[in-house]
Amino acid sequence: MQQIEAALQGGITMLQLREKQMNSLDFLAEAKLVKNLSDIYNVPLIINDNLDVACQSDAAGLHIGQDDGSIAVARQKLGDNKILGVSAQTVEQAQAAEAAGADYLGVGAIFTTNTKDDALTLNLETLKAICQAVKIPVVAIGGITAQNIHILLDSGIVGVAVVSAIFAQADITTACQTLLHILEKI
């Protein structure tokens, strides 16, 4: 919780809780604790891949991958007032997700990442093509750091999703502030 609070203090604008190895009951308990904390900072909490936990914790929304269930079913169960994010790696996936009710796309992995073993990297041209093909916001994900984020300039993204770039740093709050400062320039 201390790391999450440090990131919230650093100015993150959205928080995704991802617990791939945790059972649903423990995940729900953790989601409720994290939601209470994120509410203090007025930062939306997005639950990764677990529609039931997203609904039961009253999180701001859900993020699902291409193999994590129907986008239309998730949209229907969440309702129109919750955020639905979908991972996409192709223009076709991006357009289908938008048509099915996604509010934003997570596109990547842009660079090699250690936080998701099965992530395939995309080239910058694909990222740009996805941004141009949809009207919903696109967030780049995967291996993004303060040292390589400048490569995403003029790609069309509205933000980045990072893990190691902040949580692997000695000072999480400062790492967040540094990334935000760089993103403002992009």
Q: Would you name the residues annotated as active-site residues?
A: 18, 87, 116
Give the pair of three-digit tokens for residue 83.
């955020």
Residue 151 carries which DSSP code? G
Q: Nearest Cα to 116, choosing from 20, 3, 15, 17?
A: 20
CA gap 143, 160 in Å, rounded: 10
For 79-103, letters b (16+ CB in 10 Å) and e give: eeebbbbbbbbeeebbeebbeebbb
- Residue 21 DSSP code: S
Q: In whole angstroms, give the CA distance from residue 159 to residue 156.
A: 9
